[in-house]
Structure 1
Amino acid sequence: MTIIRLGYVAMSMELKNASPSQTMTFAQFQKIDDREAAIRKLEKITLKNLENTHRLLKHNFFNEIHFYRLTSRLIPLANHEALLDWNYMSAIKDKLREVGEYAKKNNMRIDFHPDHFVVLNSDKKDVFINSIKTLKMHYLLLKGLKIDPTHRCVLHVGGKYQETEQSLESFIDNWADVPTGIQKMIMLENDDKSFTLEDTLYLCEKLGIPLVFDYHHHLAHHQNECWEENWDRVVATWRDSPLPIKMHISSPKSVAEFRHHSDYVDVEMFFDFLKEVKGTVPQIDCMIEAKKKDEALFTLMNEIKKREDIEVIDGSSFYIK
């Protein structure tokens, strides 16, 4: 039997007034005449985001959810060119450590998925440098949480420039300039438009990066529909990781908008995948990418509990027989 653990992304639909992504625009920052006061306000917003993250982790613990994606928007304006002298980690280190200790004490797997503007295969130097700055922020946050950064940050391959092969080789060329600590932090995901499972496997196998298989993306964009033929290769990319295999699950919004995520997860579509992989690995952590966040997780678990081919472990985990 294989253990399946479900997680969700960033926001809760049940927990009120708990956004971990409150922000301040640079225009708002500039309207405050006293620069130090403006920075203090930024720090106050960041601390509130961390306090709400702590509340979300407590919500997860109460509901027996062990897998959670942190928002990448914890720190407003963290890497803005006008605020490069702001030591944002200094003001939040105590609260950051408190949040991390809670997650570790309760055996929660937490990670990040930076925004689409992190593009490691870009041929534009400024884009690559800014991508590294953003990844460094994620690295510092994980270190501040006292969590091992290894394989905690999932990325797409990046932009598709002219030819797929050229874009893949650009990733390999740029990879040499990525700091080693950040290299170890990264996982790669197949996407729904540019880089298929096979493309992403090429990079993961060549560079020693774990592959996060997105089943919905594969159905939307593939060279070979039979992903099962490559499942052993996906599993092998995780052989040196301290963490269980991770994948993404979501369902199409509609036939016409197949690439868009639905509010909830189609249980039959999910089990089409699980039936093929059961018994191949001890555990798979499945991140739900659905519009309804934790509500989608609860709804999916309620549907799963009605099935005879599973054995429930707790509020977000089950064995598939």
Structure 2
Amino acid sequence: MTIVRLGYVAMSVHLKNCSPSQTMTYRQFSSIKDREAAILKLERIAISNLQNCLRLLKHNVANSIHFFRFSSKLIPLANHEELRDWRYMRPLKEALREIGDYLKEHPMRVDFHPDHFVLLNTPNVDTLNMSVKTLAMHEALLKGMSVNTEHRCVLHVGGAYEDKEKAMELFIENWGVIPHKLQKMVILENDDTSFTLEDTLYLCEKLGIPLVFDYHHHLANFQNDRWLESWERVVNTWAHSPLPIKMHISSPRSDKEYRAHADLIDPIMFLGFLNEIKGTVPEIHCMIEAKQKDEALFQLGDDLEAAGLERIDQGSFRMK
């Protein structure tokens, strides 16, 4: 038997005026002559983003959704080089505490997927330093919510830099200088252009990092299409994690735009995956990456129930 829990990314198409990613460009910031007033505006935006996160969590609880990815754009300009003196966590303390209190009352798996510019295999020292700063910001946000930071940040391996083998070895080299508390946050995902399931497994097994299997990415980028032969190894990367194994599910927008995400999830594609791994793990958390966000989750849930899966609640199923 395997319990399947569905999650979605960052925002809802059902809640109005609830974006957690409201932003401000540096050009807009610098156009405000009073710097203190500009910083206060940034802080108001960040607090509004966090308040909208709380609304989203309440929406999830009302709909029995137990898995959610926070936006990584909660704090505009957080690590901009011209705002190095901005202590942005101080004004967010109360908003973060409110989220933490709600999560204690209504436990839910939450995590982040930092943007593509977080590159741990970069040969550029400045880029690596900025990547570490960005991970530290995510750690501070999780701690402000009183969320255990272990295995909460999904990353891609990074750039191939025209030499994939060298890029993988550079990831290992750079990993050695990443603070341990940030290493513990990281989980790695196979991508759709450069680093395959086999590549990512190599790094995860060597460095003790859990692997997030992205099924769509694998179908777009593989060396060996027999992914099930590696499934036990994927599961074993989670052996020492306090969290259940996690995977990503999305569907191609079209044959011509195969790598792009569709609005919804193809239930036949997803059921093909679930039927292969049924019984191999007690529980799996499946993050839906679709343009229609929570609507994609609701539709997929109905499709799975129609296909005969036992529905536990809106976002959970039991496969026997």
Q: Where on the TM-score scale, by shorter chain, does this alignment land: which range?
A: over 0.9
Deviations 1:176-211 (A, max 9, x none): 010100000000000000000000000000000000
Percent identity (aligned): 63
Give, in whole Å, the separation in 2 of the partners of 1:73 and 1:220: 27
Letter in 1 for 2:310: E
Q: Which residue of 1 aligns with 2:62?
A: 62
Q: Which residue of 2 aligns with 1:186?
A: 186
Q: Which residue of 2 aligns with 1:203?
A: 203
What is the correspondence of 1:150-161 to structure 2 with a 5 Å cutoff? 150-161=150-161
What is the correspondence of 1:122-201 to structure 2 with a 5 Å cutoff? 122-201=122-201
Deviations 1:119-158 (A, max 9, x none): 0000011111111111110011011111010000000000
Give, in whole Å, the separation in 2 of the partners of 1:52 and 1:162: 41
Secondary structure of residue in 2 paired with 1:8: strand
Deviations 1:233-280 (A, max 9, x none): 000000000000000000000111111100000000001100110000
Give, in whole Å, the separation in 2 of the partners of 1:106 and 1:238: 24
Letter in 2 for 1:284: I
Secondary structure of residue in 2 paired with 1:238: coil
Stretches of 4+ moved more than 3 A in 1? none
Secondary structure of residue in 2 paired with 1:305: helix
Answer yes or no: is 1:294 the counterpart of 2:290. no
Q: Which residue of 1 aligns with 2:232?
A: 232
Tell me which moved more, 91-100 or 183-192.
91-100
What is the correspondence of 1:64-143 to structure 2 with a 5 Å cutoff? 64-143=64-143
Secondary structure of residue in 2 paired with 1:85: coil
Give, in whole Å, the separation in 2 of the partners of 1:105 and 1:262: 34
Superposed displacement of residue 103, structure 1: 1.9
Q: Which residue of 2 aligns with 1:41?
A: 41
Superposed displacement of residue 105, structure 1: 1.8
Deviations 1:209-248 (A, max 9, x none): 0000000000000000000000000000000000000000
Answer yes or no: is 1:312 the counterpart of 2:311. yes
Give, in whole Å, the separation in 1 of the partners of 2:311 and 2:10: 24
C-alpha RMSD of the superposition = 0.6
Give, in whole Å, the separation in 2 of the partners of 1:195 and 1:37: 44
Give, in whole Å, the separation in 2 of the partners of 1:100 and 1:159: 35
In structure 2, runs of 5+ residues without a counterpart are: none
Give, in whole Å, the separation in 1 of the partners of 2:156 and 2:150: 17
May I ask how many residue pairs the two structures share in their alignment?
Answer: 320
Secondary structure of residue in 1 paired with 2:68: strand
Q: Which residue of 2 aligns with 1:243?
A: 243
TM-score (norm 1): 0.99
Give, in whole Å, the separation in 2 of the partners of 1:233 and 1:101: 36
Letter in 2 for 1:315: Q
Secondary structure of residue in 2 paired with 1:91: helix
Superposed displacement of residue 162, structure 1: 2.2
Give, in whole Å, the separation in 1 of the partners of 2:207 and 2:105: 33
In structure 1, runs of 5+ residues without a counterpart are: none
Secondary structure of residue in 2 paired with 1:287: strand
Secondary structure of residue in 2 paired with 1:313: strand
Letter in 2 for 1:171: F
Superposed displacement of residue 164, structure 1: 1.6
Deviations 1:43-77 (A, max 9, x none): 10011000100000000000000100000000000
Superposed displacement of residue 84, structure 1: 0.8
Superposed displacement of residue 31, structure 1: 1.2
Secondary structure of residue in 1 paired with 2:202: helix
Secondary structure of residue in 1 paired with 2:306: coil
